[in-house]
Amino acid sequence: MSDPTAELRAAERRLQAAQLAGDADALDQLLDDRLIFTLGVHGRTYTKRDDLELQRSGAQSLTRVDEEELRVLVEGATGVTWFLGTLAGTFGDDSFHARMRYTRTWIRDDARGWRVVAAHASTVPE
């Protein structure tokens, strides 16, 4: 690994691009099978399977992912990214626009590269 921080930053940006494109195949490679995603103040949790189903069914579609800030920390084969930005799109029949903060924990191995194993997201006031 030449620069693990740069590699993780690139993986985070690939994840954002895959979300925006609705690319379930790319997300399948970037999300660990053990993923637990916690959303918002209600603390609902979702799995990798839940996320991929949203993408494949078209139930969720993003039209905007604008990164304001991205911080990255790498320690060995573990990394954390902190994303702040604006997302817009549709969920079911409802459209949404929100400023969001995501904290993602990543793990890395030589065979599969960086994968998200845990994530938390919450809205941030505009």
Tokens of 2: 């030449």
DSSP of 45-94? EEEHHHHHHHHHHTSEEEEEEEEEEEEEEEETTEEEEEEEEEEEEEETTE
Fold classification of 4-123 (topology level): Nuclear Transport Factor 2; Chain: A, (3.10.450)
Domain regions of the chain by residue span: 4-123
Ramachandran assignment for 87, one of left (phi > 0), alpha (psi -120 to 50 degrees), beta (any other): beta
pLDDT value for 42? 82
pLDDT averages per 10-residue partition of the chain, 126 residues: 90 97 96 95 92 93 96 98 97 93 97 97 92
